[in-house]
Amino acid sequence: MSEPFAVEFDRFNLNYGDHEVLKNINLAIPSGTCLGIIGPNGSGKTSLLRSIAGLIQPVSGEVKVFGHVPSRSWRHRQPIGYVPQWKSIDQEFPISVYEVVMLGRTGRLGFFHSPKTEDHALVERILVRVNMLELAARPIGQLSGGQQQRVFIARALAQEANLLLFDEPGTGLDIPTQESIYRLLEELHEDGITTLTATHDLMALEFHHFDRILCLNKHIIAFGPPEEVLTPDILAKTFSGVPWPTKLVGHGA
């Protein structure tokens, strides 16, 4: 992507009813950034990601992705990969792991086209990458939560997006799976793909070196390289009233 910024927020305000969720967000995330978004529960991390994915609209201001408003038709051509917070899916939907990952190709294929040899090859490569090839034929409902999460990451990868959004990707997963997810983030970073990862779990910072950190609590508390942002002061402001692991406060600085 030649665009200098992957995501730009301009005086962005988001409400749910009368409830202010995001207040005056001004932010420009350079292309290729591996961003960690931290903040307590209810700080608007998910809403921020959903706004970028085009799922919710602001009351004022705008968000641009690679210089464009991410309208539906734009997203159809320029995919944004989104891995939502793990939620219980329809366990009985008759669809295999392979088919779920292939759904990620839907936008790239466009209407009236069915998957070609390249698409099948790509889906297979991605399944190898997330270590799910042996389970490709399994119905998705028969997998564990962590395995399902890996399938949804694979589906996002199948979009071949230059921007990937991860909402709490490690939550509820065992340590090896979390490590493999953060290893994947590193690989994506090396490929020049912009990733935005939301987490309320500061331990995630132990696993992974984000090159930028965004501290969010309805408005932006701080945005910058970890060594500047992960200070006791800023963390206290971000998590005001929320205890955080003291060990980390020295760690980031």
Partner 1 sequence: MDFLLAPLQFPFMQRALLGTVSIGILAALIGTFVVLRRLAFIGEGLAHGSLAGLALGYVLHWDLYLVGNIYTVALALFIGYLHEKSKVSLDTAIGILFSTSMAIGIAIISNLKFYTKDLTGYLFGSVLAITPFDLNIILGATVLILVILTFFYKEFVFYAFDPEMAEVVGLPRTVLHYSMLAMIAITVVIATQTVGVILVTALLVIPAASALQWTRSLKVLLSLSVGFGVTSAVVGLYLSYYLNIASGASIALTAATIFLMSFLFSSNPINVRRSLGFKEK
227 Cβ contact partners less than 8 Å away, ≥ 6 residues apart: 252, 253
Indicate the Cα dihedral angle 186, 173, 89, 217, nearest 10°: -70
Query: What does the DSSP 8-state code read for residue 43?
Result: S
Least separation, in Å, of the C-beta of 87 and partner 1?
10
**Options 30, 32, 139, 145; binder of partner 1; rule CB under 8 A:** 139
Residue with tokens 């962005």: 12
Q: Is 92 in the site for partner 1 (CB under 8 A)?
A: yes
H/E stretch holding 223 reads strand 219-224
What is the Cα Rg of the chain in Å?
A: 18
**Options 42, 55, 67, 144; binder of partner 1; rule CB under 8 A:** 55
Q: Which is nearer to partner 1, 155 or 212 (CB)?
A: 155
**Options 12, 82, 86, 210; binder of partner 1; rule CB under 8 A:** 82
Q: What angle do CA 80, 61, 108 make, to 5 degrees?
A: 15
Residue with tokens 């991390």: 45
**Options 2, 41, 57, 114; binder of partner 1; rule CB under 8 A:** 114
Least separation, in Å, of the C-beta of 82 and partner 1?
5
| Interface pattern 13-42 for partner 1 (x via CB under 8 A) | ------------------------------
The count of residues interacting with partner 1 (CB under 8 A) is 36
Q: Is 197 in the site for partner 1 (CB under 8 A)?
A: no
Given a contact cutoff of 8 angstroms between Cβ atoms, the answer to whether 211 and 49 are in contact is: no
Q: Is 107 in the site for partner 1 (CB under 8 A)?
A: yes
**Options 109, 121, 128, 175; binder of partner 1; rule CB under 8 A:** 109
Given a contact cutoff of 8 angstroms between Cβ atoms, the answer to whether 229 and 200 are in contact is: no
Residue type, 242: V
Backbone angles phi, psi at 212, to 5 degrees: -135, 150
**How many other C-beta atoms can be found within 10 angstroms of the C-beta atom of residue 200?**
17
| Interface pattern 142-181 for partner 1 (x via CB under 8 A) | -------------x---x----------------------
User: Which residues contact partner 1 by CB under 8 A?
Assistant: 53-55, 72-77, 79-80, 82, 84, 88-96, 99-100, 103-104, 106-107, 109, 111-112, 114, 139, 141, 155, 159
